[in-house]
Homo-oligomer: A and B are copies of this chain.
C-alpha cells in the first residue's frame, strides 16, 4: 500500500530537510516521495538487523514508523551509534557500494525501501531529484558534524541536555523549538543513548536523575521525559 505510506513519510519528512530553500521542492520530487511510491514496505522486530556493516548496499530506506539506529562496531564490541532515524528519515543511501555501518530496529518498526539503482536512474534524468539527494546527504553531514562537537568537547550533562532538546525538537518539528512542559517519549534504551553519546549506561542514568533533581526535567517513567526548564537545558549547549 504505497499511498498511506507516502502520506506518512511526506508529512514527517518536513523535519530533517531543515535547510532553507529546498524545502519547497521537497514534496513534489523528494527522494522520500520516490521511495514511498516505488518501495517495498517491511516490518522489523525490536533489535532486528536491517542491514549489516560491509554488506552490499543495494537499497535506500525510509522509516515509516518506529525508530532505527545506525551503528558502527569496534573489534572488542565497543559500539558507536551514529544517529537515530525516526519516521520520515532516510538511511542507507551512500555513494559507496557497501554500507559502512549497520542499521537495526530500535523498536518495532516499519520501513520502505527501493533499489538504489532505481533512484539513481531517476536522479540522472531529474536534476531536482539529484539535488534533493545531495541536500539530504548535506543535511546528514551537518547533523554528524554537530555530533562531533558533542562527542569531542561536551561534558556528560551537556551531551544529555543536547540529546533531549534534539529529540524534543524532532518529535515536535512543526511546533518549532522545545517549550517547557513538552513531553518526549524516547524509543531507545539507556544503552542506546549511551552508545550515541559516547557514555556508559550508568552515566546517562545518573545524569538524567541529576537533571530531574535540578528540576530541569521530570521523569514520569524511564522512557518519558518532560522538559521542565528547557532554558536551563539550552544553557548547557554552548
Report the bound CA distance from A134 to B130 in whole Å: 8
Cα separation A82 to B135 with both chains bound (whole Å): 20
CB of A144 within 8 A of chain B?
A: yes
Interface string of A88-105 (1 = CB under 8 A from B): 000000111100110000
Q: Which residues of B contact A138 (CB under 8 A)?
A: 94-96, 137
Asked if B96 contacts A20 (CB within 8 A), the reply is yes
Interface residues in A143-157 by Cβ distance below 8 A to B read 144-149, 151-154
Residues on the B chain within 8 Å of A19, using CB: 95-96
Task: Please tell me if the beta carbons of A198 and B80 are within 8 angstroms of each other in the complex.
Answer: no
CB < 8 Å: which of B78, B94, B130 contacts A142?
Answer: B94
Determine whether A37 belongs to the interface, using a CB cutoff of 8 Å to chain B.
no
Residues A140 and B141 in contact, CB atoms below 8 Å apart? yes
CB distance from A188 to the nearest CB of B (A): 16
A133 vs B79: C-alpha distance when bound (angstroms): 31
Determine whether the beta carbon of B20 is less than 8 Å from that of A152.
Answer: no
Is the CB of A1 closer than 8 A to any CB of chain B?
Answer: no
Say yes or no: A20-B97 contact (C-beta < 8 A), given A137-B138, A138-B137: yes
Which single residue of chain B is at the shortest CB-CB distance from A151? B151
Within 8 A of B (CB), among A96-125: 96-97, 100-101, 124
Residues of chain B contacted by A74 (CB below 8 angstroms): 149, 153-154, 238
CA distance A238 to B149 in the complex (A): 22
Given A96-B138, A100-B146, 18 more contacts at CB 8 Å? A21-B97, A22-B95, A72-B145, A74-B153, A74-B154, A80-B149, A82-B145, A94-B138, A95-B134, A96-B142, A100-B142, A100-B145, A133-B134, A134-B134, A137-B141, A148-B148, A151-B152, A152-B195
